Amino acid sequence: MADWNQIYKEKLVADATPARVLLDNQHLLPVTGKALDYASGLSGNGVFMASQGLQVRAWDLSEVAVEKVNNYASDNGIAINAEVKNLESSSEEIQGQFDVVVVSFFLHRDSFQKIYNLLNPGGILFYQTFCGEQINGVGPSRADFRLQRGELLTTFKNMRLLSYREDLKTDRINAMPDQVYFVAQKI
The residue type at 182 = F
Domain with 29 in it: what CATH number?
3.40.50.150
**pLDDT tens sequence across 41-60:** 999 999 999 999 999 999 99
Check residue 137 and give its pLDDT. Answer: 67
Check residue 74 and give its pLDDT. Answer: 97
The residue type at 145 = F
Check residue 65 and give its pLDDT. Answer: 97
Longest dimension (CA), the chain: 43
**pLDDT tens sequence across 104-159:** 999 899 999 999 999 999 999 999 998 866 766 677 667 677 878 889 999 999 99
Q: Where does residue 171 rank: exposed (0-12), middle (13-18), buried (19+ CB within 10 A)?
A: exposed
**What total of structural domains would you count in the chain?**
1
**pLDDT tens sequence across 61-71:** 999 999 999 99
> Which residue segment(s) compose the domain that 103 sits in?
4-186
Candidates 107, 58, 98, 108; CA nearest to 185 is 98
- Quickly state the pLDDT bin for 95 (edges 50, 70, 90): confident
